[in-house]
Amino acid sequence: MSFWQNKLHLYLDLIRWSRPAGWLLLLWPTLGALWAAAGGFPGWHLLSVFVLGTILMRSAGCCVNDVADREFDKHVKRTAQRPVTSGAVSVKEALGVGAVLALLAFALVLSTNRLTVALSFVALAITLLYPYAKRWVSMPQAVLGLAFGMGIPMAFAAVQGAVPALAWVLMLGNLFWVLAYDTEYAMVDRDDDLKIGIKTSAITLGKLDVPVVVLCYILFIGSWALALIPKGLGTIFIIASGIALAQVAWHYTLIRARTREGCFKAFRLNHWLGFTVFAGVVLGYAST
């Protein structure tokens, strides 16, 4: 393998290219909001901007996160071989890759409007803040929820030139979803995190972790249903919400014993839950 092929391989590993579930968790609610803002198909331009922008910003976020967590990641088996932690990619390189990706995402946002551009700076600030929240915030997953939800008001801003109350309701609902799946993720590493002193929702919640995860799922699906059904989404969206709730029951069976394997499997399956809700939104508007 040549020098540049090796570098490309390392950079793709840095941005988790082989694990698309991460950016799908951002993509489905963002696209759901885009459809809701437009009352249906938003057009190819905005669809392209938000799909590519989501992938780019999630990848940039991985670079920042790995730099911030490199000393902690050494003590966690699952993360010890990440490129920055192992030394295969330098801090300067990782930040450089992240900056290039963020600038590419910003170039896409510039093709929208001023409000969307302004919101992109807020999104960037929260993205940079999140990796350090684990040191000070008892439930840093809430900060992640804000970062992962910023695509929702940006979608409304891009379509309508304003951010109505509906956008904030959907963002709040999405926050509950992030709390649910990222707590499952934190449950995988709880023992390691306790040893190294990182704060997570799994540690903060203790034995309440499983019931709170289930409650957060229900709040996510329920809030989106209550917000969107009055906007014209009918039977198809209700059916999709029911299928999503059935997945929540499946997740409960995976995490109730709190095994690493079960919790990690539940986390990895979340993009299907998000896709189900998104599909309900798309098909719901298509049938109206």
Give CB contacts under 8 A, 24+ apart, made by 69-77: 69/131, 69/134, 72/134, 72/196, 72/198, 75/192, 75/195, 75/196, 76/189, 76/192, 76/193, 76/196, 77/192
d(CA 83, CA 60): 14
**Structure token digits, residue 214:** 């289930």
pTM for the whole structure: 0.93
d(CA 128, CA 198): 17
User: Is 251 within 8 Å of 215 (Cβ atoms)?
Assistant: no
**Structure token digits, residue 224:** 């989106």
Radius of gyration of the chain (CA): 19
Q: Which residue bears the tokens 């986390």?
A: 267
DSSP 88: S
The CATH number fitting domain 3-286, selected from 3.40.50.1000, 1.10.357.140, 2.30.29.30, 2.60.40.650: 1.10.357.140
Q: Would you write out the chain's pLDDT as a tens digit for each of its 288 residues?
A: 577 777 788 888 888 887 888 899 999 999 999 999 999 999 999 999 999 999 999 999 888 888 887 877 676 667 667 888 877 888 898 889 899 999 999 999 999 999 999 999 999 999 888 888 877 888 888 988 999 999 999 999 999 999 999 999 999 999 999 999 999 999 998 888 888 878 889 899 999 999 999 999 999 999 999 999 998 888 999 999 999 999 999 999 999 999 999 999 999 999 999 999 999 999 999 987
